[in-house]
Amino acid sequence: MERGTCITLLALLLSSFSSSANHEPTLRAVVSQLYQVLLLSWAALPELPLGELWRQFRAWVAVPLLRVAVFVCLVMSMMVLVEKVSMGLITLYAKVFRRRPERIYKCDPLTEDEEMGSLAYPMVLVQIPMYNEKEVYQLSIGAACNMVWPSDRIIIQVLDDSTDPLIKELVKKECEMWSERGKNVRYERRQNRNGYKAGALKVGMRYSYVESCEFIAMFDADFQPAPDFLLRTVPFLVHNPKIALVQSRWKFGTAIHEAGGWQDRTTVEDMDLAVRAGLAGWKFVYLGDVKVNSELPSTFKAYRYQQHRWSCGPANLFRKMFLKVLMAEGVAMSMKFYVIYNFFVARRIVSHFVTFSFYCVVIPLSVFFPEVIIPKWGLMYAPTAITLINAVATPSSVHLVIFWVLFENVMSLHRCKAVLIGLLETGRVNEWIVTEKLGDMLKTKSNTRASRRFRFKIKERFNLLEIMVGIYLLVCACYDYVYRDDLYCIFIFPQSVAFMIMGFGYIGTIIPGDK
C-alpha cells in the first residue's frame, strides 16, 4: 500500500471520529487538528519508497526511542545495584562484627517457676489459616500441636475457609483428635471468604479467648514448625518489649493492635502489617538459624500464581502507603527513605522492570540497531556485580548461579506484569489463587503416578507468553550471530532456550507416568 493511500485512510478515520457526537468537544478538537496535520503532511511530503521511509523512521523514531530505553534501563540498573551494595555492606558488617540477635538482645531460656509453675510461660496463640488444604492439613496441625510448650499456655487456632465439604470434615476431625489428646485446639469457620487469608486472621483475632494471649504466631498451612520453635523465639519477645516480630512469622500482640490490625486491602497482609508496625517504632528480629519447613509450589503454573501474588501485592501496597509513609509523623527521614526506596521501589518494583525490559527486550532489540551503543558497565559490570552479591548471600547454591539468572529472567516476565497490575490497581490486583500443595503425596511411586495422571492437561503444559518471548530472543540471537560481532548472542541464545523450556513445559510440569 502506498504512503498516500495509508495517510488518506487514516485521515478519513480521524475525520469520522472527530465528527461523532458521542465524544467530548475537547477531544473532537484535538482529533480534528490531527486530521488537518495529516492532510498537510500528505500534501507536503514527497513520494518516498518504502525503504527510504523505513530509514527515516529508524533514524527519527526507532533509534531515539531505543536510546531513551537504554538510558532508563541503565538508571534502573544503578538503582538496583546501589540497593544491593548497601544491603550487602550491612550484611557484611553484621557477619564480621558478629551482630547476631543473640549477642544484641537478651534471650535467656524460659523455665517454670517453682511458685508459678507453667504460668511463668506467656500465653501463645498459634493461627493456621487454611483453604482446601487436603494434602497438608495433617502436617501443619500436627507440627503445631507437637511444639514444646505447656499445654495450658498455648491455643492452636485453625481458621478453616475450605469450601469442599469433605475437606472441612477432615480438618474438623483432625482438630477433634488433637483435642482428645489434651491439646487446646480451636476449629473456627466463617460464613464468607472476604479478605481471603488476611480476612480469616482478622476474624480469628475477635474471639474472646484471644484476649488472654500475649503472643501470636501465624503459620501458613504448608508450614511445619520444629518442636523447639517457641522455646527459641519467644524469649526474644519476653525479654525485649520493643521487639514486635521474630523470624517474620511471629507477631507481638500489642504491635498488631497499635499498627491497625490485619488489613485485607492487599494480598500481602503480613508485609502490610510489618510496614505499619515498623513505622510505629517496633523492632524486628530475624533468626536465620531457626528454620520452619514449608512446601514449594509443585508446578511452574502454581509458582507463577504465587509469584504474581508476591509481586502484585507489594506494588499495590506501595501505591496505598506511599503518602502515608511520606507524611508519617515521628518517623526519621532515613527510615522513610529506606521504606520507600530500598524496601519498595528498588527491591520490589524497579528490580522486576529492569530484569525483563533491559535483559529480555532492550539488549536483544539493540542487535538490529548498531547505532545504539550500550556501555560495558551497564551491560556487564552492573549485572555481574548484582549476581555476585546474590551468590555470596547464598554460598551453598553458588554452583547454580547461571541457571538462577536464566530462570529469574523468565520469571521477570510475570513479575513485571504483576507489578504493573498492582501499581495501576487493575485486573487481577486482588486475585488470590491458593498455591496447590502435594504434602506427602509424592513420597511413594504409586502416589506419584496417580498424581501425574490426575494433574496433566495439555493447556497447562504450554505457556504462550514464554514461547513468544523465546522465539523473539532466538531471532535476535541468530541475527546477532550472523550480522554482528558484539557477541550478545552468547547471552541471548541461552536465555531464549530457557524461555522455550519453560514455555513448552519441560520443567515444572507433572506429566502422565507409566500405567
Q: Which residues are catalytic?
A: 161, 270
- Report the relative pairing of strands 283-285 and 243-246 from DSSP bridges: parallel
Whether the CB-CB separation of 201 and 269 falls below 8 Å is answered with yes
The tally of CA atoms less than 13 A away on the side-chain side of residue 385 is 17
For residue 250, give the DSSP letter: E
- Report the relative pairing of strands 292-293 and 250-252 from DSSP bridges: unpaired
Q: How far apart are CA 484 and CA 478, in angstroms?
A: 10
| Cross-strand pairs, 125 | 155, 216
CA-to-CA dists, residue 336 to 12, 59, 72, 320, 323, angstroms: 53, 43, 24, 15, 11
Give me the sheet containing 154-160, strands edge to edge: 185-188, 154-160, 124-130, 215-218, 250-252, 243-246, 283-285
Residue type (1 letter), 479: Y
CA-to-CA dists, residue 247 to 217, 229, 289, angstroms: 10, 10, 10
Is 286 exposed, middle or buried (CB count within 10 Å of its CB: 0-12, 13-18, 19+)? exposed
Q: How far apart are CA 96 and CA 179, in angstroms?
A: 48
The three cell numbers of residue 23 are: 465524544
The three cell numbers of residue 329 are: 509523623
DSSP 268-306: -HHHHHHHHHHHTT-EEE--TT--EE----SSHHHHHHH
Q: How far apart are CA 214 and CA 226, in angstroms?
A: 21
In angstroms, the first-to-last Cα distance of the chain is: 58
Instruction: Tell the residue number behind the cell numbers 501458613, with chain if given.
Output: 220
The three cell numbers of residue 402 are: 547461571
Whether the CB-CB separation of 499 and 410 falls below 8 Å is answered with yes
Q: Measuring CA to CA, which residue among 385, 413, 503 is closest to residue 87?
A: 385
Is 250 exposed, middle or buried (CB count within 10 Å of its CB: 0-12, 13-18, 19+)? buried
Whether the CB-CB separation of 312 and 429 falls below 8 Å is answered with yes
Whether the CB-CB separation of 130 and 161 falls below 8 Å is answered with yes
Residue type (1 letter), 248: S
- Report the relative pairing of strands 243-246 and 292-293 from DSSP bridges: unpaired
The three cell numbers of residue 450 are: 496417580
